[in-house]
């Protein structure tokens, strides 16, 4: 089955930048909607950004203008570039590959924004 592995998380200072990567085990971008979700302590998992094979993207209002989702079909990897990070961005970030009937999830990577 499709496996997704996130990397790039860690500790970063407010105002800093970080790039997350999601490596897929197969070429799936042509049929799956790829996305990044996050879950902060005590909160529901929320959508951060999505990207389709057409290149169309969608962002949560809270990250629009600061985060950028992109993909590399050759490397089977989806990225999330995060700039101007805020403490409220602290969460476990999850990669998702979805279809209408099911989806695959990565294990998540912790992003902590703190001075």
Q: How confident is the model at residue 101 (pLDDT cuts 50, 70, 90)?
A: confident
Q: Give the pair of three-digit tokens for residue 94.
A: 């999850």
Residue range 105-109: average pLDDT?
A: 97
Per-residue pLDDT tens for 65-92?
999 999 998 899 999 999 999 999 999 9
Angle ∠(101,48,63) on CA atoms, nearest 5: 160
Pairing of strands 77-82, 67-72: antiparallel
Mean pLDDT, range 4-29, rounded to an integer = 95
Percent of the chain with pLDDT over 90: 86
The pLDDT score that the predictor gives to residue 104 is: 94
CA distance 46 to 37: 5
């Amino acid at each position: 089955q499709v496996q997704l592995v996130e990397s790039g998380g860690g500790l970063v200072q407010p105002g800093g930048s970080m790039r997350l990567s999601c490596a897929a085990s197969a070429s799936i971008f042509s049929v799956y909607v790829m996305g990044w979700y996050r879950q902060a302590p005590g909160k529901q998992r929320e959508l951060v950004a999505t990207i389709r094979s057409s290149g169309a993207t969608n962002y949560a209002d809270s990250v629009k203008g600061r985060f950028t989702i992109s993909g590399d079909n050759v490397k089977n990897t989806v990225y999330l570039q995060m700039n101007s990070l805020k403490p409220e961005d602290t969460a476990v970030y999850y990669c998702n590959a979805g279809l209408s009937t099911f989806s695959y999830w990565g294990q998540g990577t912790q992003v902590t924004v703190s001075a």
